[in-house]
Structure 1
Amino acid sequence: MQQVFASIITIGDELLIGQVTDTNSPWMAQELNKIGVWLKRRVAVGDLREEIVHALDEQKKDTQIVIMTGGLGPTNDDITKEVLNDYFGGKMVMDQKVLAHIYHLFEQVYRRPIIQRNLDQALVPDVCTVLFNERGSAPGMWFEKDGTIFVSLPGVPHEMKGLMQKEVLPRLQQHFTMPVISHRTLLTAGVGESFLAEIIKDWEAKLPAHIKLAYLPHYSMVRLRITGSGADKNQLEQELDNEFSKLKQLVAAYIVVDEDKPMQEAIGDLLRKTNSTMATAESCTGGYIAHLITSISGSSDFYKGSVVSYANEVKENVLHVSPETLQKYGAVSEATVMQMVEGALSTLKTDFALATSGIMGPSGGSEQKPVGTVWVAAGNKHALVTQEFHFRFDRARNIEMTAINALNLLRKFIIEQSANGC
C-alpha cells in the first residue's frame, strides 16, 4: 500500500485573468480524495507552450498523478493536445471511434454543419490511451511516463466529470493500492473560529497522528472536519465515529448539522420532519436567500416563495407594512421586519416566514444607521423573533452574511417552536 499524491493543472488564459472561475479543481480534488489520493497542489497556467511544459516538468517531480483540464477545444488557442504530443514524443493519428462520435453529435444531436476543425478533434497522440468522452467531442487522454500518470481532460465541467467518473477514477483504483481516507464534518454557526479552537484544544491535542482536524470558516459559520487515513476501513471508521462523537459533545451548543451540508439544507430537513413550509420577505438581500434555498433539489417540498420588497411601496402593498411604521421607524427597523414576516405569512400562506431589511452599502448609511445595519425577523402564527446585526464588509459580503445569519435565526426558531409543540 502506498500514499499516492496528485497535482491538478488547469490550462487557459481565461482562468488566469479571472474571466472564468475554476470549479473543476475543487470537484476533482474531492473525488480523488474519496478513492485515497491526496492532492498536493493546484496550478493554473495560460495557453502558452512553455508554461504548460514547465508545469508538467515541475508537477511530475513529486506526484504520481498529474491531471490537466482545458485547452482541448477546436480553436487556435487550444494547444494542449499538440503540446502533449510533442512532450511524450508521439505523432497524431485519427481515432475512428472518436471520429464516428463527432459525426453523430453534429448530425444527430447538434444538427449543425461539421467543419474540419471539428473533425480534427478526433486526432490524438499515438502514445496515449484514449478516454472516450460520450458527453462531448474532445476525448480525454491518458499517458504514462517514468512512473507518473498524466491525464488530460476537457475543461467543460460536464464533460470532465463524466470522464473522471467513468474512466479516470476506476483506472486509478486499478493502478494503485491506496489507503482508505474518510471524513466526518459538522457545521457550526454563531461562534468564531478561535473560540471553537479554545473549546476543543484538549481533545484536538489527543488526536492520533492518522486523524487530522481542519477548521473551514465561511460567512459566520465554521465547518469542523476530521479526516483519517489507514489500511483497515472498519477500524478507521470506528475510530472516526468515536472522535466525532467527542467533538459533537464539546461544540453541541453551536452545531447546525453533523453532516457536510449547507445551512439551507439543514433548515429544509427540519421543515420536512414536521411537514412545514416557509417563505421569505427580502429587502436588502434582494432574493439571495430564495436563491440559496431553491438551489437545493426538492426544496419545493417546504419552500413556497418570496416577496422581494426592495421598495417601500411593495412592503406596503404586498406585505401590508403600515405607512406609519415606515414613516416612524424607517424600512431598516425591527418594527418593519416584524410586519414583513406577518405579511409574508398571510400572503404566502406558510407555517414560517423570514424577513430581512438593511443597508448593504457602500452608500445609503447614516449616523444613526450606518452601512451594515441589518434587521432580521423570523416567525410563525404563534411567535416572532428579531435580531439586529452590524456588518462591516463590502456589499456582496454583507448580503451573504445577512442571508446566513437570517437562516440561522430561522433554524433556531423552528427548533424552539418544535420543542414547544408549535
Structure 2
Amino acid sequence: MQATIITIGDEILIGQIVDTNSAWMSHELNKIGVNVYEIISISDDRDHILSAFAKAKQQSDIVLVTGGLGPTKDDITKKTICEFFDDHLELNQEVLDHVTRLFKEYVKAPMVDMNKDQALVPSRAQVISNQYGTAPGMWIEDEETIFVSMPGVPFEMKALMSDGVIPKILNIGELPFIHHRTILTAGQGESTIATRLEQWENNLPAHIKLAYLPSLGTVRLRLSSRGMDKDFILRTVDDQIKQLYVLINDVIVGESNDESLVHAVVHLLKEKSKTVATAESCTGGKIASLITEIPGASKVFMGSTVTYATQSKVDMLGVDPAIIEKYSVVSEQVALEMASKARIKFKSDYAVATTGNAGPTQGDSDAPVGTVYIGIATPEKAYALRFMMGNHRERVVQKTINKALELLQKELIGQ
C-alpha cells in the first residue's frame, strides 16, 4: 500500500511552524507496512488543494491530509473536499453532541454557530471521533483511493491516527512486513566507514538496503528490508548485522532505530549503575538538556553548571584563577579542572566539561575560533583533549556535544 501525506496551512509555508505531523505519520505508517510515496505541504488555497488531491489520487492508495479544519473562514478544507468529491456538507449529530459536551465541560465561552459548524461533514465521509478537539477525522473512499482528513493540531492528529485511522488501514488487507535495524557509530566519517564496508555492502542480498545517515561526529547505518516473509527478513538482516559488528566494531557505539548517541550513553549509565554530571561553557547547557530529555535520566544524571563567563568557572566550580591566568580559559588545564571539580561538586561517578571558542569573535581567550577542549573525569582518572571544530558557531557547538558524548561513551564501555 502506498500513501501520500498532505499538510495544509500557510503557517507551514512561511516558516511560522514546523511540520512535525508528517514525520510522525510516516514513522507510524512505516511500522505497519505502508510505504510513504510523497509528503507535500500546501497553502490554504482552493486550487492548490484540488490540484494536490488530484495528483495524490493518481499515485497513492491512501491520502492522509492534516490541517484546514478549524472553525474560522480561512479553513476551507471541508468545502474543498466536498467540491473534489462532488459532495455536500451535512450535519452529523454525533459530532454536534461531542462539540456541545466539550464546550459544556471545558470551555467557559458560549458555543457560537461557528463552533456548531464543526459538525458539518461531507455526506460520504465516515466520521472518526476526535476525543481531544472539535474537528472530527473524516474517512472517504473514492474508487481505488482512500482520503483521510484530520486536524493539524499534533496531539489531536496522533490520537485520531492511533485510535481510528491505523486500525482501519490494518483491516483493509495483508500488508508487507517492514524491518529496520540501525547501528550508531561515532569517531569516523561517512566516507571512511563506506570504504571499510565496500565489499560487504556490494554483497548485500537484494532485499536488504543500506542507508548512511551522517550527523556531526556520528553516522547511523540503517539496514532496511520489506516483504511478506517476516521470519526470513528478520533472520537475513540479523545475519548482516553480525557481519557489520565484525567489520567496524571499533566505531559502533550503540544500536537503535530511533535513538541517538545520548540515548546510548544514558542506557550505558543505567546498565552500569553509574552517574554523570556536566560543567559546560561553550555548549551552554545543551549536553545536560539532551540527557534530561530522556525518560529515567534522573537515575543517572546528578546535575550541571553552565559556567559560560570566565569568572563563573571560579565562583561556581572553584577553578583556580591562577590556572586560567596562566593557560587561558580555553585550555586543556581549565577543561580538566572543570571536569574534576564538577565530579566532586555533584558527587558523580563521571563528569564531562566543555570550554571553547565557538565564535564568531574570540571572547576571553586568544584561542582561534573553533578551538574546543573537552574534559572527562572518571573514578580512576581525569584528562582533557583539544579539538578544532571549524568556524561555524552552530556546528562547533553540535560537534562538541557529540564528541563529548562519544568520549563519555568510550569510557563507559571500557569499564
TM-score (norm 1): 0.95
- Establish whether residue 223 from structure 1 lines up as the match of residue 220 from structure 2: yes
Say which of 292, 303, 309 aligns to 2:301: 303
Is the 2:360–2:391 Cα contact (8 Å) retained in structure 1? no
Q: Which amino acid aligns with 2:241?
A: F
Residue correspondence of structure 1 range 9-408 to structure 2 within 5 A:
9-260=6-257, 261-364=259-362, 369-408=367-406
1 CA distance for matches of 2:390 and 2:364? 14
Aligned pairs, how many?
Answer: 414
Share of identical aligned residues, percent? 44
Distance 1:151 1:289 in 2: 40
Residue 407 and residue 45 in structure 1: after superposition, are their counterparts in 2 closer, same or farther (change >3 A)?
same
Runs of 4+ that moved beyond 4 A? 365-368
Q: Distance in 2 between matches of 1:217 and 1:208?
A: 23
Letter in 2 for 1:47: D
Q: Which amino acid aligns with 1:264?
A: V
Paired letter, 1:189 = A
How far residue 176 of structure 1 moved from its aligned partner, in angstroms, is: 3.2
What is residue 413 of structure 2 aligned with on the other side?
Answer: 415
| 1:318 match: secondary structure | helix
Does structure 2 retain, via aligned residues, the 8 Å contact 1:132–1:140?
A: yes
Letter paired with 1:77: D
Mapped partners of 1:111, 1:277: distance in 2: 47
Give the conservation status (yes or no) of the 8 Å contact 2:328–2:365.
no
Q: Cα RMSD (Å) of the superposition?
A: 1.5
Give 5+ residue unaligned stretches, structure 2. Answer: none
Q: Judging changes above 3 Å, is the alpha-carbon distance between structure 1 residues 126 and 230 closer, same or farther for their aligned structure 2 residues?
A: same
| 2:59 match: secondary structure | coil
Alignment partner of 1:171: what SS? helix
User: How far is the alpha carbon of 1:290 from its aligned partner?
Assistant: 1.0
Q: What is the CA deviation profile of residues 135-191 of structure 1, one whole-angstrom value per residue up to 9, with x for unaligned ones?
A: 211111111112011111111111111111111111111113221111111100111
- Deviation at 1:64? 0.9
Tell me by how many angstroms 1:115 deviates. 2.3
AA partner of residue 268 (structure 2): L
CA distance in structure 2 between the partners assigned to 1:119 and 1:364 by the alignment? 60
Whole-Å Cα distance in 1 between the matches of residues 357 and 73 of structure 2? 47
Cα distance in 2 for partners of 1:372, 1:122 equals: 58
CA distance in 1, matches of 2:41, 2:344: 52
The code of the aligned residue for 1:227 comes to S
Distance 1:213 1:92, change over 3 A: same
Deviation at 1:18, TM superposition (A): 1.2
- Deviation, structure 1 residue 396: 2.3
Q: For residue 171 of structure 2, give the secondary structure of its aligned residue in structure 1.
A: helix
Q: What is the alpha-carbon distance in structure 2 between the residues aligned to residue 189 and residue 49 of structure 1?
A: 48
Q: CA deviation at 1:248?
A: 2.0
Q: Give the match's secondary structure for 2:148.
A: strand
Residue 72 (structure 1) shift: 1.0
Amino acid at match of 2:137: G
Deviation at 1:245, TM superposition (A): 1.2
TM score, norm. by length of structure 2: 0.96
Contact 1:318-1:347 at 8 Å conserved across structures: no
Cα-to-partner distance string for 1:191-239 (whole Å, 9 max, x where unaligned): 1111111111111111222111111111211111111111111121111
Q: What CA distance in whole angstroms lies between the structure 2 residues aligned with 1:393 and 1:226? A: 34
8 Å contact 1:379–1:413 — kept in the other structure?
A: no
> Which structure 1 residue ranges, 5 or more long, are not aligned?
none
